[in-house]
Chain A
């Protein structure tokens, strides 16, 4: 795979002195889905806006397939599609004209068959002659996606695509995104929903206070930082952890009916065998055992707090 988007030491300071991006460097491979996670005000949207040409960088460079976004802005921007976070649409225009306008604006010749295909995939074809203002919120968001896809971008930015979208529609959107990836489009999405990153991304980047804290393969990240919990269900409830088990650092589960043991999946010895032996030795009777992998959300919260555990 080759690098399609290369961001080097990108900085953005606003007139008031606020530093929204503090030297962001990021390489994005062609065909991947990268999820950028970060709390509000982390710099996700500023990063996207700068790459897309909406905001001017203070310093640093951005290259799209080797084209500098400043010197070769036409070649660079032609390749980029942007789905903004806010629903920004001309309310009085029809869906069809809005999407057609976008294609023209990006300098692509008219291609009604392609637009029909895009609108059909996004379940908007029936609404093509409706004014944008008549559509529901979810439909408007899909119009934004249709606009971004209308000029056949190779890199697609989705800024919070699921904000204000119901669960069903979110799943539909994920399908669309996966399908796009299949067709070779590189996708960068920002999201608050860790579930979304977990479901779709190949790699996950975490950004906070204008800095990229890490970018890793999602599976590596979860394996490296993932904790697992072993829950030992007991036949009889207990009120305290027996003294003989104190060394294992156990927590008592709901209603004292279980013991919860946290261990590191990458550790050489997980300590499970010893624990189970000790539990039996303490005279406790087990009814069931289950394990649970910590989610990206747990990892994310740890990272942003600055205390990777």
Chain B
């Protein structure tokens, strides 16, 4: 393993993040605050409690997931797409690094950024509502796994994308709807029975449910199933990336 190269990629990618630290920091704080004002205060005052948890607190895990997933995808997809776009990819392809090292560098950095934003949101949320985390280790595990797995997905999207439109396509058309319909802001038990069944086909449901369980001990689906789902998703992304690197798809002519 060329760990020096992994560290070099990681540091270079993190530098991009720190150059725009203010933006990286302000935007999640602002959007989280807005969600709290709209959902927590305006709507939450009418819902009061969901499964024994105040609505304001109930949406916190979903909000964190929403940001972490979109940030993980966008950071990783941009991270690998940008060198392709500006041409600096040549250096990566001609360097004595294998694909695992490239993935570790890029996905590691993207996941770190997503994790950072997740933590910022958690702290911001703490200012608005009382939060107790019943299973802190499970919470950290879910958070980290989500950051990593969606950064992997973002990496795939970044390699697949041929232009900036395509870079936005999957997050916008598939991921964001899945998150919103995955119980970020409501419990599945609030849905009509038919929709409850349909919703179970949405993989994000398992993530949010598991993450929420780590906070409040309540879940839409069994916790084991949630862990299985995220493990399967991570595995799937790894297989896809393995194939990309074996074939050089959209990287090497």
Contact = CB atoms under 8 A, between A and B. Distances in A.
Contacts of A93: 12, 15-16
B235 interface: no
A86 interface: yes
B92 interface: yes
Interface string B140-176: 0000000000000000000000000000000000000
Nearest to A97: B15
B172 to A, nearest CB: 25
B88 A107 contact: no
Interface residues of B, number: 26
Nearest to A131: B19
Contacts of B5: 104-107
- A contact residues, range: 35 or more
Interface stretch (A50-58, A118-126, A231-239): A50-58
Contacts of A102: 91
A189 B88 CA distance: 20
A105 B90 contact: no
A68 interface: no
B238 to A, nearest CB: 22
A91 interface: yes
B88 to A, nearest CB: 5
Contacts of B189: none
A270 B137 CA distance: 92
A113 to B, nearest CB: 17
Interface string A89-109: 111110001001111111111
A147 interface: yes
Contacts of A105: 5, 8-9, 91-92, 95, 97
Nearest to A103: B8
Given A77-B94, A105-B8, A90 B2 contact: no
